[in-house]
Structure 1
Amino acid sequence: MSSTAAIAPEPGTPKTLDANRYATKKTIAQGMLDIALLTANASQLKYVLQAGNKHEFYSLMVGLISTSIVLQVLAGSLTLILLRLNINDPSRHYTAAVINHICLAFVMGSCVTNTIKMSFGLDPTIQRNNSV
């Protein structure tokens, strides 16, 4: 079996999974989801700011959405720093691991913030009856 078997398998051999191609597709998909979440947060922030103090949880929602956006931007920035590190150099492994763990903490914080945020409801089509 040649070293390029994962790229172009020899005739008659079963196709194998190319780990690099899979990782690349997974990373691109994750990046698109991150952009979608950032766009959704920006849209929600716009809605809450337009609703103003009429929104029941105005201050809380602005705080949660802003926190989520900041955490997403920090995680993205750390990812860019991580991309610039040469992880083939063993002396960089510890630094890369620390940056990766901090980035993971920011992503987890963003997920928790978004979960809490969505429990307060942002759907402008739902009419709340406050006259009861």
Structure 2
Amino acid sequence: MASVEEISNFQAGDPGPSRDAPINLNHYATKKSVAESMLDVALFMANATQLKAVLDQGPTSQHYTALVALIGVSLLLQLAMGVLFIIIARMNLNEVSKQQRLNHLNNMATALVFVTAVINIFITAFGVQKTGFPPAQPTQRAF
């Protein structure tokens, strides 16, 4: 019969004996930054596609100026986030002297992600529809 100690080692949530080593915070933070960067790239590509659809519809489409401006701001913020993520990923979290700066950069990146998400909510609300039809041409009147 197994002892109480052996049984408790198999309970859910117990890391087990092979996971007793402390987590490398720098490795964890780097993986987190890389994952955020990948999501940023995906959103960047989606916004580029949306911008192309708006430009294809032409300036006669509804909310054209607002959508071009919002998508442009979103793309610029995403570029800034990408640079921040690269800087964060390259810094060593285990160095105590860099932890305060990393915390500040992480807070900035989080704020940029929030603002970009809100902007993209408005982009979605204004709607970008790719109709498949060529942009409307202004009609000319014959006098």
TM-score, normalised with respect to structure 2: 0.67
One of 82, 86, 89 as aligned partner of 2:88: 82
Find out whether 1:113 has 2:123 as its counterpart: no
Find out whether 1:5 has 2:23 as its counterpart: no
List per-residue Cα deviations over 1:26-73 (Å, max 9, x = no partner): 666544332221111000101111212121111100010011111111
Q: Which amino acid aligns with 2:18?
A: A
Match of 1:91 in 2: 97
Looking at both structures, which has the greater relative contact order when contacts are Cα pairs under 8 Å and sequence separation is at least 6? 2
Pairwise CA distance, 1:25: 7.2
- Number of residue equivalences: 112
The answer (yes or no) to whether the contact 2:81–2:113 under 8 Å persists in 1 is: yes
Q: How does 1:1-132 map to 2 (within 5 A)?
A: 5-6=18-19, 30-125=36-131
Matched residue SS, 2:58: helix
The answer (yes or no) to whether the contact 2:47–2:75 under 8 Å persists in 1 is: yes
Matched residues in 2 for 1:91 and 1:30: separation? 24
Gaps of 5+ in 2: 1-16, 134-143
Paired-residue identity, %: 37
The answer (yes or no) to whether the contact 2:33–2:85 under 8 Å persists in 1 is: no
Which structure would you say has the larger Rg? 2
Superposition RMSD in Å: 2.8
Matched residue SS, 1:56: coil
Matched residues in 1 for 2:107 and 2:36: separation? 17
